[in-house]
Amino acid sequence: MSLFAMSLLQVLCSPAVHLLSFAGLFGTQLYQSFIVTKVCYTSLPSDAFIRLQRRIFPIYFRMQSVLWLVTALSFPPTGPWSLVQGGAADWASFAIGGLCAVLNLLLFGPNTMRAMLARRELGMAVRGNEENGETDVDLAAAKRRFSKNHAASIHLNLLCIIALSWHGWRLAGRMAF
């Protein structure tokens, strides 16, 4: 292995990189999940809230996935190898959290957004034409699609937070002051 590759590996697998990526991921998850979403939902009109969500959640899910990867790759002292050698208590939280983050990024996040937009469009169509019974059925189906995808996304995000909390607890137990 070249000197550059060894140096890069040492920097990436340093405790400082791991701690910073972990802290960034944990702080981002808590802030987005419990502060930003709640404040925006109660403060913004529906259309503005939907426009904001369309822009912010894809960024959040990408950032969440990248930070999970960096946190796993920087697990001291040798990255993923140390994670596997640490046993199931170490790698399981990363496997669960990483899988949940990727599912939100690739599947449930986009599906929720599409369902939310379809629900909004159908809701506007129903308000414009009250006699159309078929549109009411379509609107009910769109609401169900949105509810299922949104619930899955919320639960996956909660699993990410729990998995990261578990890792944080284990990480704090290894720190020496």
> Does 96 or 4 have the greater pLDDT score?
96
Mean pLDDT of the chain: 89
Residues 102, 95: Cα–Cα separation, whole Å: 11
Q: What's the average model confidence in pLDDT over 15-40?
A: 94
Q: Quote the pTM value.
A: 0.85
Q: What's the average model confidence in pLDDT over 57-84?
A: 91
User: What are the structure tokens assigned to 165, written together?
Assistant: 């909390």
- Residue among 161, 145, 143 nearest 108 (CA): 145
> Does 12 or 68 have the greater pLDDT score?
68
User: What are the structure tokens assigned to 92, written together?
Assistant: 């399981």
Q: What DSSP letter does each residue of the chain carry, written as one string?
A: --HHHHHHHHHHTSHHHHHHHHHHHHHHHHHIIIIIHHHHHHHS-HHHHHHHHHHHHHHHHHHHHHHHHHHHHT-TTTTHHHHHHT-HHHHHHHHHHHHHHHHIIIIIHHHHHHHHHHHHHHHHHHHH-TT-HHHHHHHHHHHHHHHHHHHHHHHHHHHHHHHHHHHHHHHHHH---
User: What are the structure tokens assigned to 68, written together?
Assistant: 């999970």
pLDDT one-digit tens code per residue, 129-151: 655 555 678 888 999 999 999 99
Q: Which residue has the tokens 């990526």?
A: 21
Residues 63, 29: Cα–Cα separation, whole Å: 10
Q: Which residue has the tokens 């959040």?
A: 60
